[in-house]
Amino acid sequence: MKASPKINPRILLALLAVGVALAAGQMGWNHFSPAQEELMRLDEEQAQPGIASVLADPDGLSQVQANSKKITDLNKEMEGKLEKFTGGWKEASEKAAAANQAWAKDAGAWKDELIRSCSELLERSRNTPKAKRVEFPDDFYLGLDAFRQKNPDAAEVPGLARELQIARHLVDLLRGARETSTEAYSSPCRLKKMEGPTALRDKKTPDSPRPAATSGSSPGASQTPMIFRLALECSPEVLYEFIARLTRDTWLLLPRNMEVVNPVRQFPSRSEKMKSFQSEKAPDRPGEPTPTKSSAKLIEVLAGKEALEVFLELEYLDWNAPAGAAEAKKGGGKP
C-alpha cells in the first residue's frame, strides 16, 4: 500500500500567492491596490489598543465625541481666563507704544509733544490747590533732558515715544496718589528728579538699559530692561498710595529698589516747633501763654509727620519684550 504524498504547507501558500498575483494581474493591479491599502489601514487601527477598545464598546464613539467637546470647552475656558488676566497688560503695552499716534513716528513731532507735555504738567501743577499739588522743578523735562537742544534720530523715535508715554504715566500715578491720599498733616509733594532709560544710558552706568526698536507688532519694545529712577519728597500717606497704585496698575512698573530717608535726624525740639505755631496776636493779659494756631497740628509734627525723601527705581515690562528677547537669542544675539 502506497503512502499518499505529503505537501509542504509553505509550498501550498506560495502556490496560492502566485495564483492570487495572476488573478490580480488579470483584474488590473490598479483596481486591487486601493482595497489592499484600506485593509492595511484598518488593520493598523485595530492593532492600537485605544482604537480597539473604542470600537469594541457600543458607546465608545459617542464617548470620544463627548470627551473631545469637553476638551474643547476647557481650552476655551482657559483661553478666556488667560485673556482676562493678561488683557490689561497687552492693552497697556499698546498704549505705551503709541503706535497709532502721528507724533510717535516723526522726530520733530515727538519733540513738539515732549515740549507740550512738560508745559502742560507745570501749568496744571500751578493751578492745583497746594494741599493736592505735585510740584516739579522749573526745568523738569520728564527725564529726557538730552533732547533740550536737539531732535532725536529717526531710528530712536519709537523707543523714545515709549519712554515719554511711560514717564507721563508715572507722573499721572503720582498725581493721583497725591489727590486721593488722606494726610493728617499735609506735607509738600515734589518730584525732584526723573531719569529714564535715555538718561541712564548717557550716564554710562554699567547696568544702563538701551531702548531698541524690535521688528514685532509693538514698535520701540525694549529687549533690555527699561529702568526709571525717581527722586521725590512726600508724606508717608502719599508714598503708600503711590506704591499701591503701582501694584494695581496694568502697565507693569515693578519697584526694584527703594530708599526712604527721613531728613529730620533728631526728634524735634518742642520749644523750637512752638515758635512756628505761635500766633502773631499778643496775650490779652501779662503772664498768659501765647495762643497757638493749632495745638493738634503741633502734636502731629512732634510725632514725626515730616516729609520723607524717597529714591525709587522701577522696571517697566512690556508685553512684547519677552518675544523680542527670544527672537534675538534665537538669531544668535544677546537677549
Residue 70 is which amino acid? K
Most confident of 158-162, 199-203, 264-268, 274-278: 158-162
Distance CA 40, CA 47 (A): 11
Residue 75 contacts residue 69 (beta carbons within 8 Å): no
pLDDT in tens, 286-297: 555 555 445 555
Distance CA 144, CA 167 (A): 9
Mean pLDDT of 254-274: 77
Question: What pTM, to 2 d.p., does this model score?
Answer: 0.62
Tell me the pairing of strands 189-195 and 134-135.
Answer: parallel
More confident residue, 186 or 296: 186
Alpha helix stretches (DSSP H) within the chain: 9-27, 29-47, 49-56, 60-97, 107-127, 157-180, 197-202, 236-248, 270-277, 295-302, 321-330
Residue 237 contacts residue 279 (beta carbons within 8 Å): no
Most confident of 5-19, 44-58, 165-179, 304-318: 165-179
pLDDT in tens, 46-102: 445 555 565 566 666 676 677 677 667 666 666 666 666 566 888 888 999 998 899
Task: For the chain, report the end-to-end CA distance as a whole number of angstroms.
Answer: 94
pLDDT at 245: 95
pLDDT at 173: 96
Residue 310 is which amino acid? V
Burial 258-268 (b: 16+ CB within 10 A, else e): eeeeeeeeeee
Edge-to-edge strands of the sheet including 226-234?
134-135, 189-195, 226-234, 308-316, 253-261
219 to 33, 95, 97, 138, 239: CA distances (angstroms): 57, 11, 6, 32, 33
Mean model confidence pLDDT for the chain: 73
Distance CA 334, CA 325 (A): 8
Three-state secondary structure call for residue 314:
strand
- Element of type H or E holding 227: strand 226-234
CA dihedral 5, 10, 15, 17 (to 10 degrees): 160
- Asked if pLDDT for residue 121 goes beyond 80, the answer is yes
Q: What are phi and psi of 100, to 5 degrees?
A: -90, 5
pLDDT at 229: 96
pLDDT at 88: 82
Query: In which residue are the cell numbers 493721583 written?
Result: 176
